[in-house]
Structures are given as structure tokens and as C-alpha cells.
């Protein structure tokens, strides 16, 4: 059988197709990168990722971004913590809206006041870490883990007398 050499233009076409596929792969991988900043919440229109109630009061909102780039917003700090406990997402960023000020607190800056009125009655209000009479994020997570309330659609621990 005689040897057939491929013409140079076929090698060029294969190289061009290979380069195009490489560019598409790099573009798709870059597009899946998780955002580092808070994403806008549509107040009174966007449902909580945990309980599905509309997120209406910014002072109790929370938001997490997974390493896959999923953005989940919550109407109550307790909903965010319950979601973390129930689903164990690979966390990229986590913020809580300050209970009194118009600003957000990163997870490493947050503490919680307990026994406050919140949308889903978890009773946790986010404030600055180091504020007197607060619990830290880990303690808030333990507190919710020890409560008997818990799945989406429930009113939260306070409804069962656990925190108020």
C-alpha cells in the first residue's frame, strides 16, 4: 500500500481546530469562576434559598457563594446557617448583613446577638465580631445544630421556644 502524505493545509486546519477548542475550554473554565463580591439581591422579589420566603428586610439578609459559583441568598441568618448544616456546600464566600447598619460583614468579621426578632424566628442578628454580649459564627452554628427545628418552611427555633 503506497504511503499517502497529508497535505500541509490539513495539518494547518487541524492545528486551527485544536486552538479553537483550547480557547473554548479556557473560556468556559474562566466563566465558572466564583465571584468574590456580593451579588445584588432583589428585595421583596427574590426567595430565600432555604425557606423560600421572599427576602424583604436587608438587615437580616445573608448570602453565600459556593466554590462552583452558585450564589445563594437568605432572608434570615438562621436560614443561611441551617442551609450550611444541611447541604455542606463548598464555601467560597459568606456574608451577613449587619443588623443595624447598612453594610455587610464577611464570615470572619461577624458575631451574633441572640434572642432578637428575625424573619424566620431563628433569633440571630449579625453584628461586628468583638461586640459585647455576642456569640461567634461557630457558636451560632452549634446553637442551631442543637435546636430541634430545621427544615425549609419551618418557622425556626423560636417558634418552638428554643431561642426566645
Give the pLDDT of the chain (164 residues) as one tens digit per residue.
555 665 766 766 666 776 776 666 666 555 568 888 999 999 999 999 999 999 999 999 999 999 999 999 999 999 999 999 999 999 999 999 999 999 999 999 999 999 999 999 999 999 999 999 999 999 999 998 887 544 333 344 443 333 32
Q: What stretches of the chain show up as alpha helix (H) in DSSP?
A: 8-31, 77-87, 137-146
User: What is the DSSP secondary structure assignment for residue 104, as one 8-state letter?
Assistant: E
Residue 48: inside a domain: no
Domain membership of residue 41 (yes or no) is no
Q: Considering its fold, how many domains does the chain have in total? A: 1
Domain presence at residue 82: yes
The pLDDT of residue 31 is 53
- The pTM assigned to this predicted structure is 0.72
Supply the pLDDT for residue 134. Answer: 96
Query: In this predicted structure, what is the pLDDT of residue 157?
Result: 43
What pLDDT is recorded for position 159?
Answer: 36
> What is the reported pLDDT for 16?
72
Any domain includes 112: yes
Please report whether residue 13 resides in a domain. Answer: no
What is the edge-to-edge ordering of all strands in the sheet holding 62-66? Answer: 71-74, 62-66, 91-97, 104-106
Residue span of the structural domain in which 78 resides: 58-160
Q: What nine digits make up the cell of 102? A: 447598612
pLDDT of residue 148: 54
Q: Is residue 11 part of a domain?
A: no
Residue matched to cell numbers 425556626: 156
Amino acid at each position: 500500500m503506497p504511503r499517502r502524505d497529508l497535505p500541509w493545509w490539513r495539518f494547518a486546519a487541524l492545528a486551527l481546530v485544536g486552538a479553537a477548542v483550547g480557547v473554548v475550554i479556557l473560556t468556559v473554565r474562566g466563566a465558572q469562576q466564583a465571584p468574590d463580591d456580593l451579588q445584588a439581591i432583589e428585595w421583596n422579589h427574590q426567595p430565600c434559598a432555604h425557606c423560600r420566603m421572599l427576602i424583604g428586610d436587608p438587615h437580616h439578609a445573608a448570602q453565600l457563594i459556593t466554590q462552583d459559583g452558585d450564589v445563594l441568598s437568605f432572608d434570615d441568618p438562621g436560614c443561611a446557617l441551617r442551609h450550611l448544616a444541611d447541604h455542606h456546600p463548598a464555601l467560597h464566600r459568606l456574608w451577613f448583613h449587619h443588623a443595624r447598619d447598612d453594610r455587610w460583614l464577611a464570615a470572619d468579621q461577624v458575631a451574633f446577638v441572640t434572642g432578637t426578632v428575625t424573619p424566620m424566628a431563628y433569633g440571630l442578628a449579625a453584628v461586628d465580631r468583638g461586640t459585647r454580649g455576642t456569640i461567634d459564627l461557630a457558636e451560632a452554628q452549634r446553637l442551631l445544630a442543637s435546636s430541634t427545628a430545621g427544615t425549609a418552611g419551618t418557622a425556626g427555633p423560636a417558634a418552638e421556644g428554643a431561642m426566645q
